[in-house]
Amino acid sequence: MKLWLAAVAAAALAVAVHADDIGKKVNDPVSNKPVTVAKDTPSVAVNGTRLYFADAKSREAFLKTPEAFLKTPLECPVRGIKGKADKTKRIVVNDELVYFCCAGCSMGFQKEPNNYVSKLIDPVSTKEFNLASDSPKVQYKGSWYFFESDENKATFEKDP
């Protein structure tokens, strides 16, 4: 199973700014340019941390090869072990990149994601919801999508 399709991810990964981050000053991980986070600042979440970019072009460059720009060790959400980002140990969940320490953790996460993630953004309604063991889900082009309702899942399946 392919865990990542760069062309799809570059177009699909959502831009979502957390209200608490507005006004925060960060560095773009690609260009290293300073960025003051605004409502429309391009971003992507990696293991629960939101990264912000100076512009859409920088974000697209990141999504093509995120491992080239992720220099800080990432903590596996299953075992808590820190390690280098490895594309063979990542999945995409509701347009967020999730890296693991090993393939076994990836499998465990996919079986019971609600044990490791409490909240997600529904890709249809764009509302945050609490992930439950019985949340509707679908796998599409190597990415996992979870929904707050069966209706949103059906809407997604009609036009992903």
Identity of the amino acid at 77? P
For tokens 């903590």, the residue is 75
pLDDT for position 16:
60
pLDDT digit string, tens, across residues 119-152: 888 999 989 899 998 999 999 998 999 999 999 9
- Angle (CA) 112 93 36, round 5°: 130
Cα 91 from Cα 66, distance rounded (Å)? 12
Q: Are 153 and 147 in contact (CB under 8 A)?
A: yes
pTM over 0.85: no
Cα 73 from Cα 71, distance rounded (Å)? 6
What average pLDDT does this structure show over 61-74? Answer: 95
pLDDT digit string, tens, across residues 25-49: 999 999 999 999 998 999 999 998 9
Contacts of 4 (CB under 8 A, 6+ apart): 87, 90, 91, 92, 142
Residue 7 has pLDDT above 90, yes or no: no
pLDDT for position 3:
35
